[in-house]
């Protein structure tokens, strides 16, 4: 027993020395860690190490509901060396920065629709894209009817800020011609297909798809094809056969998801507490979103490989709740399912059928 006692005293002694040592050299340790972080991140394009292909950055997997773990809806897409952002909810731009998304390569922002949670990060994105990207012309922002008013509104709101930055950094750094967004409204002609190719070159094709988010009309989903890889993004919609048809055979489907059962339970609790207005909102949102099981059905019918839920309602503060959220989704869809989290990156290298998930 003596050897045990001595051993414990020895261990205790080492722990005390370690604590004293740490406190003595705390500043040096912190400085070294800071320097290492700078070496690894400052001015380093982390995306340069990625293979050629499609890369999806989950910069926001939440909804309008305040959520400590999920920013508003935001997806960054890298196709070869061109970068796109599809919707930019509040907090999305900060996540893009933390994830090493190359804002300097940002080509165009696409909007699915003009609900506040999909656009309330636009001012921040345009500002950082302008200054960080050393842009010489405004950022194209493409979306449904109404996009022009929204973008011009953001431009007006941030105009004064732009004058401060130009005065402070000079026109070489803050080129006045690069400030703000250049709106471009997409109109999908009426017809049964309800889709329109909005960009196409040898390697990349972007198709807008009319989805159903009534009374918000029009509202779009998108399909992106780059070389031999493809993804689709639902935007906000109910289960929509047009979106299913347009997503046929994509590698990765990103679908919004609202658990109707969970939302109904919250609504009932609000009603019971006499909060009629809030209860009404929870009742209303049931009719223009997709339950995870319905999204699983869409993925199954479209024959996709991997389904990622984003725009998640309600909040899932603990992972255990994902089981309730998913319901029977896993028996409805044969492929892989991921409940999206901010910071996830999906890499789809060209010339392969791999989908690699990582978390920044
Ligand atoms: Zn939304
Ligand atoms: Zn919406």
Domains and CATH numbers, the chain: 53-359 (3.60.15.10)
**Interval 223-245: pLDDT, tens:** 999 999 999 999 999 999 999 99
Q: Which ligand is nearest to the CA of 310?
A: 1
Confidence of residue 265 (pLDDT cuts 50, 70, 90): very high
Confidence of residue 55 (pLDDT cuts 50, 70, 90): very high
- Integer Cα distance of 100 and 135 in angstroms: 19
Euclidean distance between CA atoms 109 and 182, whole angstroms: 10
State the distance from the centre of ligand 1 to the C-alpha of 130, rounded, in angstroms: 26
Structure tokens at 244: 């299913």
Residue-wise burial string across 274-295, b where 16 or more C-beta atoms lie within 10 A, e elsewhere: eeeeebeebeebeebbbbbbbb
Render 296-307 in DSSP notation, one character per residue: HHHHHHHT-SEE
Measure 313 CA to ligand 2 centroid, in angstroms. 12
Locate the DSSP E strands across the chain. 53-60, 74-79, 82-88, 106-110, 139-143, 181-185, 195-200, 204-213, 216-226, 229-233, 252-258, 306-313, 336-339, 344-349, 356-359
Supply 327's token pair. 């319901």
Q: Determine whether 117 is an active site residue.
A: yes
Q: How far apart are CA 320 and CA 126, in angstroms?
A: 37
DSSP 8-state secondary structure symbol assigned to residue 246 = H
Q: Which residues are placed with Cβ below 5 angstroms of ligand 2, an ion?
A: 115, 236
Report how far apart the first and last C-alpha atoms of the chain are (Å, whole number). Answer: 48
Q: Packing angle between helix 122-133 and helix 147-169, nearest 10 degrees?
A: 40
**Mean pLDDT value of segment 155-182:** 96
**Residues 66-94, mean pLDDT to the nearest whole number:** 96
**Mean predicted confidence (pLDDT) in 131-150:** 94
pLDDT digits (tens, 9 = 90+) for 93-127: 999 999 999 999 999 999 999 999 999 999 999 99
Which pLDDT band, with edges at 50, 70 and 90, does 214 fall under?
Answer: very high
Residue 277 CA to ligand 1 centre (angstroms): 19
Tell if the pTM clears 0.75, that is, is over it: yes
- Burial class (CB within 10 angstroms; exposed 0-12, middle 13-18, buried 19+) of 80: middle
Annotated catalytic residue, options 67, 117, 212, 342: 117
The pLDDT-based confidence of 40 (bands split at 50, 70, 90) is: confident
Q: For residue 114, how far is its CA from the centre of ligand 1 (angstroms)?
A: 9
Quote the mean pLDDT of the chain. 94
Element of type H or E holding 93: helix 92-98
């Amino acid at each position: 027993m003596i050897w045990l006692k001595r051993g414990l005293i020895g261990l205790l002694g080492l722990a005390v020395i370690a604590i004293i040592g740490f406190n003595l050299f705390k500043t040096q340790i912190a400085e070294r860690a800071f320097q290492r972080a700078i070496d690894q991140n400052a001015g380093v394009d982390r995306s340069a190490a990625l293979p050629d292909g499609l890369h999806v950055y989950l910069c926001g997997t939440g909804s309008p509901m305040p959520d400590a773990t999920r920013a508003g809806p935001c997806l960054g897409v890298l196709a070869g060396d061109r970068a796109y952002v599809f919707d930019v909810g509040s907090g999305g731009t900060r996540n893009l920065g933390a994830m090493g998304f190359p804002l300097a390569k940002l080509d165009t922002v696409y909007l699915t629709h003009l609900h506040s949670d999909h656009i309330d990060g636009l001012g921040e994105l345009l500002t950082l894209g302008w200054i960080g990207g050393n842009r010489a012309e405004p950022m194209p922002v493409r979306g449904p009817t109404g996009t022009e008013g929204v973008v011009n509104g953001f431009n007006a709101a941030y105009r004064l800020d732009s004058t401060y930055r130009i005065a402070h950094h000079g026109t070489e750094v803050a080129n006045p011609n690069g400030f703000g967004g250049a709106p471009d409204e997409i109109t999908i002609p009426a017809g049964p297909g309800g889709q329109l190719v909005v960009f196409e070159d040898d390697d990349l094709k972007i198709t807008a798809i009319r989805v159903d988010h009534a009374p918000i009309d029009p509202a779009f989903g998108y399909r992106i094809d780059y070389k031999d890889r493809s993804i689709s993004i639902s935007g906000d919609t109910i289960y929509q056969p047009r979106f299913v048809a347009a997503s046929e055979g994509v590698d990765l489907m990103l679908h919004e998801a609202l658990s109707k059962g969970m939302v109904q339970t919250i609504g009932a609790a609000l009603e019971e507490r006499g909060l009629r207005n809030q209860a009404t909102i929870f009742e209303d949102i049931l009719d223009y979103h997709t339950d995870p099981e319905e999204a699983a059905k869409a993925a199954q019918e479209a024959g996709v490989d991997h389904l990622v839920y984003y725009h998640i309602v309600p909040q899932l503060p603990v992972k255990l709740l994902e089981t309730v959220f998913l319901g029977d989704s896993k028996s409805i869809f044969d492929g892989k399912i991921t409940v999206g989290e901010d910071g996830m990156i999906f890499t789809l290298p060209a010339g392969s059928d791999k989908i690699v998930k990582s978390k920044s």
